[in-house]
Chain A
Amino acid sequence: MSKSDLPPEPKSSDVTPEALYDGRREFIKNTILYLTTATAIGGGLTYLTTRGRLGPGATGASNQPPLPGDLPAASPTTPPTETTPASAATAPATSAAAKVNYDTDEPRTAFNDISTYNNFYEFGTAKSDPARNAHTLKTKPWTVEIDGECGKPQTIDIDTLIKLYPLEDRVYRMRCVEAWSMVIPWRGFELRKILERVEPTSKAKFVAFTTLFDPDQMPGQRGHSIHWPYVEGLRLDEAMHPLSLLAFGIYGKTIPNQNGAPIRLVVPWKYGFKGIKSIVKISLVEKMPPTSWNLLAPDEYGFFCNVNPDVDHPRWSQASERRIGDILKRTTLKFNGYGEQVAHLYKDMDLVKFY
């Protein structure tokens, strides 16, 4: 074989330096150690700061059950499907001509934000927990018991309840006590309709609400973050106010479980937690009923919980709020901007004392 048949020798500059050649094992070992350590620390920190928040549920729709579809259409102009004497007598404001417009025309919060950013401790204490966990809630069959100081106590099936009165769309601001807010298009009917239906007696001064208690369906109830079941209450005149809504839907769709399916309360001039979710019982009572957050921290949460920028939460200011989707905060309005409609309910009350 002649010399020219051999491949050309590599240039001397291409030859690996001897020291590096000798150190290659060391170099590979160090690289592996570097990557392993960095990954372990990075992974650990990511775990601690996002615990349970990186799953598919965080983005919303992927592991939610499909929405059951449209609710009966909201139809303020069509006559009620059933007119009880009580509602006919006391609800003229809902007729098309006299209808007061309670809707805000502010931009609505995206459905994905409304349905993935929830405080619903029955399904976990992180905001993204309810969207991930609430699929265990069975909303059918479902009944709501209405009892207490009333002439016609009754237990009504949800399918019957939802058809008792025409549903209305109401676009309300929702101000959470944690200083963030949303604009939510609810679908439901006024709470007063169902209260009038059972004919409150003269002894009825307050309305008490109870959420379902079933740790199998609501795994958060196995923990002790709150004394279960969740309870809330309103003074009767607050409950009878036309702004107080029983909601069955959001954006015209059946309300997602994590937002309080199949039936929840919406009281837009109060902090969001007054809007009790997944209601099974409504009682007319004589005495001021207990409310869950007040029981847990009476110095932080009173009975009334009206949105009030002048009365700070002990741990943070209530003067401003971040509307979900905004970067900076905006000024919080007294009674969440519904003062014109509700301020008269509290005209002789010291709202600093009765927070």
Chain B
Amino acid sequence: MAELAVPIKQVRNDQRLSWLRPAVTAGLLVPLLVLFFRWRMGLLDADPIAEALNQFGLLALVCLIASLACTPLKLLFGWTWPLRVRKELGLFAFYYALAHFTVYLVFDKNLALGAALDDVIKRKFILVGFLAFLVLIPLALTSTAAAIRRMGVQKWQRLHRLSYAAGILGALHFYWRVKSDVSEPLVYAGVLALLMAVRLVYRKQSKG
């Protein structure tokens, strides 16, 4: 894990790939624009709220898993460019999770906090989703270079390892939500498991 601490700063100062981070940011915003325009043009399903809710949730999970893929890609192929956009991916996971949570609270629960809390307590699928969202909050708040300096690299990395917990909780949230055909959530869970396996294998190797 320690080998990751060094590249971050070098990478940020490297001007060669100056287009990369703006391009990824723009790409991550595209689904939002597509959703907006489909809504304006009346192309959404009969229940646009449900569609927005589902899309935001899925986008959060995809961004989170993508952010967790950066280190394994470096370990496997020696690529460093994914690490340059890890922060954007992680932040967008948080933004979309926030949007998902907001749609749920405002339109599904009509802002009734009691009913939402009741959901969290009674329903394991909502509980794990809520926990995933809670975990993302401190990670988003400490996403700046200043936070890394303030906390120290080691402590910061320990905190940010929680992103794996958020990923597992998010995948479980999706799996428990689906009514009968669980193949789609299983694909995401599988990718997540694969990424974790890559890390574990390399960790063992570097220790042994």
Contacts and interface: CB of A to CB of B under 8 A. Distances in A.
Interface of A: 30-31, 33-46, 48-50, 53-54, 58-59, 109, 112-113, 116-117, 121, 125, 127-128, 178, 180, 223, 225-226, 296-297, 312, 314-317, 319-320, 322, 324-325, 327-329
Q: Is the interface of B mostly helix, strand, loop or mixed?
A: helix
26 contacts: A33-B23, A34-B26, A36-B23, A37-B19, A41-B23, A42-B29, A45-B27, A45-B30, A45-B59, A46-B30, A46-B34, A50-B55, A59-B43, A116-B46, A127-B45, A223-B181, A297-B180, A315-B123, A316-B126, A317-B115, A317-B118, A322-B47, A322-B49, A322-B50, A322-B107, A324-B47
A178 B85 CA distance: 38
A42 to B, nearest CB: 3
Given A41-B23, A317-B119, A50 B47 contact: no
Contacts of B34: 42, 46, 50
A39 B30 CA distance: 8
A269 to B, nearest CB: 22
B50 A180 contact: yes
Contacts of A116: 45-46
Contacts of B130: none
Contacts of B58: 48-49
A116 B119 CA distance: 30
Interface residues of B, number: 41
Contact of A125 (B46, B108, B119, B181): B181
Contacts of B46: 109, 112-113, 116-117, 127, 324-325
B31 interface: yes
Interface in B1-29: 18-20, 22-24, 26-29
Contact of B30 (A38, A315, A328): A38
Contact of B45 (A37, A58, A225): A58
A225 B182 CA distance: 8
Contacts of B123: 314-316
Given A37-B20, A42-B26, A49-B55, A312 B47 contact: no
A297 B26 CA distance: 42
Nearest to A117: B46
A322 B23 CA distance: 38
Nearest to A326: B49
A297 B19 CA distance: 50
Contacts of B20: 33, 37
Contact of B27 (A39, A128, A178): A39
